[in-house]
């Protein structure tokens, strides 16, 4: 099954709010988040987990956490 994400310029309501909250500095939204656009609560949960795991205090540095995420993606053969 292929997910057809809602483009940024077509988002409204809660989805538009989430896109704005989790947009990159250039205004784009990562494709992995856009894939959740049919289900905004899932997008909020995914983004919340990401922020908690990579941006809050941790005994690991941000670099170490990013390296772990990259390795997990590689092991899962996730090429995004």
Q: What are the boundaries of each domain within the chain?
A: 8-75
Distance between CA 66 and CA 60 in Å, rounded? 10
DSSP string, 24-72: -TTS---HHHHTTTT-HHHHHHHHHHHHHHHHS--SS-HHHHHHHHHHH
DSSP state of 8: G
- Token pair for residue 74? 């590689």
Q: pLDDT digits over 19-62, tens only?
A: 999 999 999 998 889 999 999 999 999 999 988 888 889 999 98
pLDDT at 23: 93
Longest dimension (CA), the chain: 40
């Amino acid at each position: 099954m292929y997910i057809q994400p809602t483009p940024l310029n077509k988002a409204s309501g809660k989805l538009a709010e989430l896109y704005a909250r989790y947009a990159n500095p250039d205004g784009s939204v990562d494709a992995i988040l856009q894939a959740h656009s049919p289900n905004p609560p899932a997008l909020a949960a995914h983004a919340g987990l990401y922020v908690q795991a990579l941006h809050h205090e941790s005994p690991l540095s941000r670099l170490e956490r990013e390296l772990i995420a990259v390795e997990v993606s590689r092991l899962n053969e996730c090429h995004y």
